[in-house]
Amino acid sequence: PIHLVWIGGPTEGVKFAPLAHDLRSARLSDVVHFIGPRPDLTEPFAMFDAFALTSREDALPLVCLEAARAGRPVLAFDNTCLGEVFGDGEGAFVPFLDVDAMAAQLAAWAGDPAVARAVGERAQRRILEGFDVSVGAPRWWDELEGLLP
């Protein structure tokens, strides 16, 4: 079965109670897991087969770059600039708020883990070669040096 792991946000209290109630009513409590905020995402990412970002507004969600760096295929709505970060076959981006398309992509990756792993590996390469601090910092330094008198 597919499990959803929600990282961050409250995992108890008044704001969380309606969501917990809805999950119990829908009999989804056993497949939806809330683990709260984490300073280090290495452990959660290690247990994921894929990473889906369901945010409505986040121009460049760094958590997606972190997931890709961990070798996980990234799925998000196309209202971010992630399509400019990742090339073909390095992630999947569905029309904004098209939850059916998002679910279909997750199901496709779940049905073909080899494809999901390959997408994650390509995404990881993209991040390590273009966005890792060991690559980016020297580029920034070169740019800044060029601005000095």
Contact indicator for 53, 81 with CB cutoff of 8 Å:
no
Q: Judging by DSSP bridges, how do beta strands 92-94 and 32-36 pair with one another?
A: unpaired
User: H helices of the chain, where?
Assistant: 17-25, 42-47, 62-69, 82-85, 99-111, 113-130, 133-147
User: Topology of domain 38-147, per CATH?
Assistant: Rossmann fold (3.40.50)
- Report the pLDDT value the prediction gives residue 135, as an integer from 0 to 100: 82
Q: What is the pLDDT of residues 89-108, one digit of tens each?
A: 999 999 999 999 999 999 99
Domain-wise residue ranges, the chain = 38-147
Structure tokens at 10: 């409250």
Task: Please check the confidence at residue 117 and state whether its pLDDT lies above 90.
Answer: yes
Structure tokens at 124: 């990881």
Give the separation between CA 147 and CA 45, rounded to whole angstroms: 39
For residue 87, give Cα distances in angstroms to 18, 84, 111, 133: 39, 7, 22, 20
Contact indicator for 45, 72 with CB cutoff of 8 Å:
yes
In the structure, what pLDDT confidence band is assigned to residue 86 with cuts at 50, 70 and 90?
very high
Helix, strand, coil share of the chain (percent; to 5)? 50, 15, 40
| pTM across the whole model | 0.82
DSSP state of 51: E
Give the separation between CA 27 and CA 126, rounded to whole angstroms: 39
- Mention every residue, 6+ apart, whose C-beta is less than 8 A from residue 56: 77, 79, 97
